[in-house]
Amino acid sequence: MNNIKNKIDKREYLIGIIGLGYVGLPLAVEFARNNFNVIGIDLDEGKVNKINKGINYIKDVDDTLLATLVKKGKLKATNDFSVLKDVDSVSICVPTPLNKTKEPDVSYIVNVRDEVVKYLHKGMLVVLESTTYPGTTDEILLPVFESTGLKVGEDFYLAFSPERVDPGNPVYHTKNTPKVFGGVTPACNEIGTYLYGKIIDKIVPVSSTRAAEAVKILENTYRSINIGLANEIAIMCDKLNINVWEVIDAASTKPFGFQAFYPGPGLGGHCIPIDPLYLSWKMKLFNYNAKFITLADEINSNMPKYIVSRTADILNDKAKSIKNSKILILGVTYKKDIDDLRESPVIDIVSELLNKKANIFYNDPYINEFYVVRDPSEIDKDSILLHSTELSKELLKQMDLVIITTNHSSYDYKFIVENSDKIFDTRNALKGFKDEKIVYL
Ligand SMILES: NC(=O)c1ccc[n+]([C@@H]2O[C@H](COP(=O)([O-])OP(=O)(O)OC[C@H]3O[C@@H](n4cnc5c(N)ncnc54)[C@H](O)[C@@H]3O)[C@@H](O)[C@H]2O)c1
């Protein structure tokens, strides 16, 4: 144990990161920035080549820092798993999506496990960071690793540590977001928390991998359910002719017992729409129906349809139908100021409006073009590709309706209000504007 700690202290401890996406690359950079030698492994050759050339592709990572770390030889990338034979610690940051029937797809974890096990060696630490249901580390990784004859907590170390990164958050990054850590044995916790403690300000140890896995799911289930509540309150407020945003803002003045969550056009991203369903799936194995999760998923998943039905009502008031109307969609990413389209509810809204034969235009400063499909693996020759249109006065004036679906900070909202005929604001981006032409969610 002391040998390992010495190696960590002297930075002779080689770090491996598998999966260099939104989670893995910032983590790799944080280790390298703290003087560790880091090798990233990704199947995507485009990403591997970019890193080795010092080119950044994740918005939250600093371009110059990445280039400098690569130049100094602190950070390298490869698609060859055999480098793991020399690696002391490996953090697994691969996707954990849902399949078409909304069940967990842990195939990425399984594929990585089958590579790691080939190179598992004495003293190695393996940390799973991908969000998943409680039990994954113990049930999917541990038995296969121990089938090599190596014993966990003695010959190798295994843990789960959820990633909490919040893309686009200007305050909280990898370093200053407390990190929960659960090892299979106390020794796994001791090594893992010692290592991560070198790069992260606060480590929160828990007693097991299952507890650590459950922490992450609780955090995102809490968000999903509260956003679901905010969405349902928005629907009810509309029926009562009350502005839901005013209600939430006023409720937020209560100094205790209330935390504000906001409605919107639906959930997006790789976390909140997906993670709770990992837990509800697991519960089905216990013949238990996770009612809150199911209900929140139903309400949140229906928001795009609700937005389209409100759109029909707004156009109806102008004696128009969705069919043949010119509609400008402002913002397609799942939240503001990021370049991530994954699971964006705006894709569903656009798809539904196109099905109803609307003429759709869109603008997004972060997305030049996109296919109107939820699952990129389903893109084919019939898929519709849309291109971002310049947000000009002429464009706005031509539109029957402008829908603000993502409230990017860079939009000039005064300009948008001045030049549009009718606006449906699903994000309260136009808070404070008092104009009959604006309809709020
Ligand atoms: N993005 C977030 O905001 C966020 C936040 C917290 C937790 N998470 C969780 O972290 C995990 C990773 O998410 P992400 O957003 O970084 O995903 P991502 O898609 O941005 O990155 C995953 C990377 O893994 C690579 N990959 C896939 N299979 C691989 C394999 N077999 N071997 C090597 N590389 C492989 C992909 O090429 C990709 O570069 C998920 O479980 C997610 O739920 C994500």
Judgement on whether residues 434 and 319 belong to the same structural domain of the protein: yes
Same domain, 203 and 224: no
- Same domain for 30 and 142: yes
Q: Among the three residues 157, 175, 207, which one is the final residue of a domain in this structure?
A: 207
Same domain, 176 and 292: no
Q: Clarify whether residues 251 and 194 are in a common domain.
A: no
Residue 407 has pLDDT above 90, yes or no: yes
Residue 213 lies in a domain: no
77 and 40 Cβ atoms separated by less than 8 Å: yes
Residues 22 and 169 in one domain: yes
DSSP 5: H
Lowest mean pLDDT among 63-67, 266-270, 397-401: 266-270
**CA–CA gap between residue 162 and residue 318 (Å, rounded):** 49
What band does 168 get if pLDDT is binned at 50, 70 and 90? confident
User: Could you tell me if 209 and 153 are in contact, meaning their C-beta atoms sit under 8 angstroms apart?
Assistant: no
Give the tens place of pLDDT for each residue, 342-354: 889 999 999 999 9
* Inside any domain, residue 215: no
Number of domains in the chain: 2
Whether 152 maps to a domain, the answer reads yes
Domain that holds residue 248: 220-440
Domain boundary among 207, 237, 255: 207
Query: Does 98 lie in the same domain as 68?
Result: yes
188 is catalytic: no
* 45 shares a domain with 133: yes
Give a yes or no: residue 248 inside a domain. Answer: yes
Residue 140 covered by a domain: yes
Of 207, 233, 268, the one marking the end of a domain is 207
pLDDT for residue 19 is more than 90: yes
Residue-level pLDDT at 311: 98
Pocket of ligand 1 (CB under 6 A): 18-24, 41-44, 47, 93-96, 108, 111-112, 130-131, 163-165, 167, 270-271
Number of the ligand 1 atom closest to the C-alpha atom of 340: 1
CATH code at 429? 3.40.50.720
What predicted TM-score, i.e. pTM, was given to this entire model? 0.91
pLDDT band at 2 (very low <50, low <70, confident <90, very high): confident
Do 187 and 254 fall within a single domain? Answer: no
pLDDT recorded at residue 327: 98
Indicate whether 236 and 202 sit together in one domain.
Answer: no
Confidence of residue 377 (pLDDT cuts 50, 70, 90): confident
In a domain, 32, yes or no: yes
Is the pLDDT at 166 greater than 90, yes or no?
no
CA dist 376 → 205, 335, 346 (Å): 37, 19, 15
Residue of 61, 166, 174, 270 best suited for mutating to test ligand 1, as the one with most atoms within 8 Å of CB: 270
Q: Are residues 187 and 112 part of one domain?
A: yes
Helices 186-196 and 2-9 pack at an angle, to 10 degrees, of: 10
Answer yes or no: is 407 within a domain.
yes
> For the chain, what is the mean pLDDT?
96
181 and 250 housed in the same domain:
no
**Mean pLDDT calculated for residue range 238-244:** 97
